């Protein structure tokens, strides 16, 4: 479309050329690929905060989450209504410094201070690598990491983390344990139409979202939780009060403005953010699949076509990460193998599986992605030369 062409030009003028032998870091899911879109939006999202504003700790003392800015509430509601990816009615909103803080607030809120043993925290493999690290970091007496949910046998209470679409592999997921004493946290960071078909409004007890993956503004550190149970929402708010006495108002106001721009863009065809994002991701996946198909060293997951209610058509998932599996015995430690080709990725071992798997971010700048594809293609030709 015209818009994509305009954006490509913007992008070409923006980026300094990467030296062709640079190390490319695709270990983190750092969402820089939306930069040209936001550049194109110009001053639409510029936020001016005067010296006299945002001084108070408090945002709205009538709200259960007293440090939540009313403008952000309004834009979160509006966007969920528009995209229909989550049921917002009957849920309290709690804002956090990224969904990472909210995850910790949720662990605190779902555990019991009186229980003799820490509550077990599990997630089905392959699970998002930070969960384990964050859960065990402070050696809490309230909760502890207990690994793969598929292997969970105990009759003790547990917390199961369900990431859908999943990081690292992009699949839609449901809870895997069929127990009674379980509490669920649904991490829906990637449940947006540029990554996956929106098939139903999610309506779980505790859902986590973040602007990091929705709009790409990871640096603003704003996430939100939708929480059914009032006591859980209160405890999460208490955790954040004791942890950081609230969440940056400056960031909340900026996030509100960005979310507003996204919702506004959905009313028109020309610069619809999700349409743009889906196009970009689709193109990248198509190119990646073609290179991977040709080099024969790896395989990629396949995703089903599903009807996306947002776009009103059948669409395919274009996940934020590529989850590669080595097809070769000799490159079993795939992370080291790619590091030798100056591509930094994250090995399967961080996600509870083995080193034949690895995760590559699909969200970096275009020129970095181009270099990735170039190197992946060269690997195959070298392989052939060596017989």
Report if residue 99 touches ligand PMP, rule: CB under 6 A: yes
Report if residue 216 touches ligand PMP, rule: CB under 6 A: no
Report if residue 163 touches ligand PMP, rule: CB under 6 A: yes
Question: Which CB atom, from 213 or from 284, has the smaller least distance to ligand PMP?
Answer: 213
Question: Which CB atom, from 95 or from 288, has the smaller least distance to ligand PMP?
Answer: 95
Q: Closest approach of Cβ 106 to ligand PMP, in Å?
A: 12
Ramachandran angles phi, psi of 33, nearest 5°: -70, -15
Tell me which residue has its CB nearest to ligand PMP: 98
Q: Closest approach of Cβ 223 to ligand PMP, in Å?
A: 4
Residues 277/194, Cβ–Cβ less than 8 Å: yes
Binder to ligand PMP among 69, 187, 271, 335 (CB under 6 A)? 187
Binding mask 118-157 for ligand PMP (x = CB under 6 A): ----------x-----------------------------
Report if residue 212 touches ligand PMP, rule: CB under 6 A: yes
Question: Which CB atom, from 337 or from 369, has the smaller least distance to ligand PMP?
Answer: 369
Q: Closest approach of Cβ 75 to ligand PMP, in Å?
A: 16
Report if residue 223 touches ligand PMP, rule: CB under 6 A: yes
Q: Closest approach of Cβ 30 to ligand PMP, in Å?
A: 9
- By CB under 6 A, which span of 49-57, 98-106, 136-144, 304-312 interacts with ligand PMP? 98-106
Q: Going edge to edge, which strands form the sheet with 119-123?
A: 92-97, 222-227, 206-210, 182-187, 158-163, 119-123, 143-148
Question: Which CB atom, from 7 or from 256, has the smaller least distance to ligand PMP?
Answer: 256
Question: Which CB atom, from 182 or from 319, has the smaller least distance to ligand PMP?
Answer: 319
3-state SS, one letter per residue, for the chain: CHHHHHHHHHHHHHCCCCCCCCCEECCCCCCHHHHHHHHHCHHHHCCCCCCCCCCCCCCCCCCCCCCCCHHHHHHHHHHHHHHCCECCCCCEEEEEEHHHHHHHHHHHHHCCCCCCCCEEEEECCCCCHHHHHHHHCCCCCCEEEEEEHHHCCCCCCEEEEEECCCCCCCCCCCCCCCCCCEEEEEECCCCCCCCCCCCCCECCCEEEEEHHHHCCCHHHCEEEEEECCHHHHHHHHHHHHHHHCCCCHHHHHHHHHHHHHHHHHCCCCCCCHHHHHHHHHHHHHHHHHHHHHHHCCEECCCCCCEEECCCCEEECCCCCEEEEEECCCCCCCHHHHHHHCCEECEEHHHHCCCCCEEEEECCCCHHHHHHHHHHHHHHHHHHHHCC
Report if residue 100 touches ligand PMP, rule: CB under 6 A: yes
Binder to ligand PMP among 189, 202, 259, 281 (CB under 6 A)? 189
Report if residue 210 touches ligand PMP, rule: CB under 6 A: yes
In the region spanning residues 1 to 30, those forming contacts with ligand PMP, defined by CB under 6 A, are 29
Report if residue 243 touches ligand PMP, rule: CB under 6 A: no
- By CB under 6 A, which span of 38-46, 96-104, 235-243, 375-383 interacts with ligand PMP? 96-104
Q: Tell whether the torsion through CA atoms of 58, 59, 65 and 69 is positive or negative.
A: negative
Site size for ligand PMP (CB under 6 A):
13
Report if residue 104 touches ligand PMP, rule: CB under 6 A: no
Which positions touch ligand PMP (CB under 6 A)?
29, 98-100, 128, 163, 167, 187, 189, 210, 212, 218, 223
């Amino acid at each position: 479309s015209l818009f994509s062409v305009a954006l490509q030009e913007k992008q070409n003028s923006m980026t300094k050329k990467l030296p062709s032998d640079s190390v490319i870091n695709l270990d983190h899911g750092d969402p820089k690929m939306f930069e040209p879109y936001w550049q194109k939006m110009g001053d639409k999202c510029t936020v001016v905060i005067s010296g006299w504003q945002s001084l108070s700790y408090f945002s709205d003392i009538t709200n259960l989450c007293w440090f939540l800015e009313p403008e952000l509430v309004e834009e979160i509601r509006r966007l969920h209504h528009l995209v229909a990816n989550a049921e917002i009615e009957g849920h309290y909103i709690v804002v956090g410094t990224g969904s990472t803080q909210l995850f910790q607030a949720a662990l605190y809120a779902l555990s019991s201070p009186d229980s003799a043993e820490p509550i077990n925290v599990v997630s089905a493999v392959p699970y998002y690598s930070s969960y384990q690290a964050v859960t065990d970091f402070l050696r809490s007496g309230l909760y502890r990491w207990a690994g793969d949910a598929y292997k969970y046998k105990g009759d003790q209470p547990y917390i199961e983390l369900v990431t859908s679409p999943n990081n690292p592999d992009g699949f839609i997921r449901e809870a895997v344990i069929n127990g009674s004493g379980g509490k669920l946290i649904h991490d829906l960071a990637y449940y947006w139409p540029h990554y996956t078909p929106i098939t139903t409004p999610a309506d779980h007890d505790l859902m986590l979202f973040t602007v990091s993956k929705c709009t790409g503004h990871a640096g603003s550190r704003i996430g939100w939780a939708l929480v059914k149970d009032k006591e859980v929402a209160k405890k999460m708010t208490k955790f954040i009060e004791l942890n950081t006495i609230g969440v940056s108002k400056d960031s909340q106001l900026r996030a509100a403005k960005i979310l507003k721009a996204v919702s506004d863009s959905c009313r028109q065809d020309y610069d619809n953010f999700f349409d743009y994002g889906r196009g970009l991701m689709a193109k990248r996946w198509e190119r990646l699949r073609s290179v991977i198909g040709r080099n024969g060293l790896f395989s990629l997951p396949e995703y089903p076509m599903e009807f996306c209610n947002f776009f009103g058509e059948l669409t395919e998932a274009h996940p934020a990460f590529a989850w590669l599996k080595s097809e070769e015995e000799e490159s079993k430690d795939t992370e080291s193998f790619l590091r030798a080709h100056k591509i930094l990725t994250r090995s399967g071992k961080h996600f509870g599986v083995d080193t034949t798997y690895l995760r590559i971010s699909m969200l970096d700048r275009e020129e970095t992605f181009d270099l990735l594809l170039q190197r992946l293609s060269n690997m195959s030709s070298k392989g052939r030369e060596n017989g």
